[in-house]
């Protein structure tokens, strides 16, 4: 599946509710899977390659919807549906990151609006995650010495300073720096710094403890 094929999961122990929601969601052009319990949902096969949201009934036969929300740990947006909602429950769910809390009977337009908002949020999160994975993949292509050079360059050190710290020639540092820029796909030092900041390295980056080599 791709970003154009978002996935909606429905977790409700009432088969008639699952069927009705599945028909509605499919009619809006979304892919949908239904589950009768939290455990069945957690045991599903998941590729993690497409944005997704989950519609949860609060009252489930094993884990409650709120417990399942905690187990998901904000990995996807949650829309709660319930026939027994109250204010403390709603507040707790929203504080834990739920995108909406709808009370049965639910109007089709309200649910579809909630799904659209949840999937938009999921799409942004999914895109950001993919971008981070791509940056980490580039980072893993660096040799230990290129990583040492990069860590110092993004901290603002000049080539000659880096050469002095690493005990190598300035020309060698220039070569490593050029390779870093190419492997990280950075067109400028500013862009390289932004990439490093994105993956949370920054000034706290750990420099590999390697022997001095060129």
104 and 165 fall within a common domain? no
Most confident of 91-95, 103-107, 125-129, 149-153: 149-153
CATH of the domain at 190: 1.10.10.10
pLDDT of residue 201: 65
68 and 85 fall within a common domain? yes
How many other CB atoms are found less than 10 A from the CB of residue 213?
A: 12
pLDDT of residue 117: 92
Cα four-point dihedral sign 60, 65, 70, 73:
positive
> Per-residue pLDDT tens for 124-161?
888 888 899 999 999 999 999 999 999 999 999 999 99
CATH of the domain at 115: 3.40.50.2300
Please report where in the chains the tokens 């609060």 appear, as a residue: 58
116 and 66 fall within a common domain? yes
How many domains in the chain? 2
Indicate the pLDDT class of residue 25, thresholds 50, 70 and 90.
very high
Q: Is 60 part of a structural domain of the chain?
A: yes
Please tell me the least confidently modeled range out of 51-60, 142-151, 165-174: 51-60
205 near 148, Cβ under 8 Å?
Answer: no
Q: Is 213 part of a structural domain of the chain?
A: no
Mean pLDDT, all residues of the chain: 85
Residue 170 to residues 53, 166, 173, Cα–Cα distance (Å) = 52, 10, 5
Cα–Cα distance measured from residue 134 to residue 119, given in angstroms and rounded to the nearest whole number: 22
pLDDT of residue 13: 92
In this prediction, residues 83-98 reach a mean pLDDT of: 65
Q: Between 163 and 71, where is the model more confident? A: 163
Q: Is 211 part of a structural domain of the chain?
A: no
What pTM did the predictor assign? 0.67
Residue 55's SS3 state is strand
119 and 39 fall within a common domain? yes
pLDDT of residue 90: 64
Q: Is 174 part of a structural domain of the chain?
A: yes
Q: Look at residues 136, 161, 183 and tell me which one is the last residue of a structural domain.
A: 136
Cα–Cα distance measured from residue 14 to residue 24, given in angstroms and rounded to the nearest whole number: 16
- Is 23 a residue whose pLDDT tops 90? yes
25 and 125 fall within a common domain? yes
47 near 5, Cβ under 8 Å?
Answer: no
Question: Percentage of residues in the chain with pLDDT exceeding 90?
Answer: 57
Q: Is 209 part of a structural domain of the chain?
A: no
119 and 100 fall within a common domain? yes
Find the Cα–Cα–Cα–Cα dihedral 24, 27, 29, 34, rounded to 10°: 40
72 and 172 fall within a common domain? no
110 and 16 fall within a common domain? yes
45 and 25 fall within a common domain? yes
28 and 118 fall within a common domain? yes
Please tell me the least confidently modeled range out of 48-62, 161-175, 194-208: 194-208
114 and 163 fall within a common domain? no
Q: Look at residues 83, 101, 136 and tell me which one is the last residue of a structural domain.
A: 136
pLDDT of residue 200: 81
Range of the domain at 100: 7-136
Q: Look at residues 85, 104, 136 and tell me which one is the last residue of a structural domain.
A: 136
pLDDT of residue 210: 39
- Is 103 a residue whose pLDDT tops 60? yes
Q: Between 121 and 95, where is the model more confident? A: 121
């Amino acid at each position: 599946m791709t970003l154009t094929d978002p996935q909606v999961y429905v977790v409700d122990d009432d088969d008639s509710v699952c069927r009705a929601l599945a028909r509605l969601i499919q009619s809006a052009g979304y892919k949908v899977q239904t589950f009768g319990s939290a455990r069945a949902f957690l045991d599903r096969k998941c590729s993690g390659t497409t944005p997704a949201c989950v519609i949860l009934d609060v009252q489930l036969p094993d884990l409650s919807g709120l417990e399942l929300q905690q187990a998901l740990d904000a990995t996807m947006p949650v829309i709660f549906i319930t026939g027994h909602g109250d204010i403390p429950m709603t507040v707790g769910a929203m504080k834990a990151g739920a995108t909406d809390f709808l009370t049965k009977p639910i109007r089709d337009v309200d649910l579809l609006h909630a799904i659209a908002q949840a999937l938009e949020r999921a799409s942004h999160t999914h895109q950001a995650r993919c971008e981070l994975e791509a940056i980490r993949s580039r980072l893993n292509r660096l040799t230990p010495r290129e990583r040492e050079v990069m860590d110092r360059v993004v901290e603002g050190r000049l080539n000659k300073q880096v050469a002095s710290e690493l005990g190598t020639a300035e020309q060698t540092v220039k070569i490593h720096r050029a390779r870093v820029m190419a492997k990280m796909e950075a067109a400028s030092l500013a862009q390289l710094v932004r990439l490093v900041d994105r993956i949370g390295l920054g000034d706290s980056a750990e420099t590999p403890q390697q022997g001095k080599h060129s």
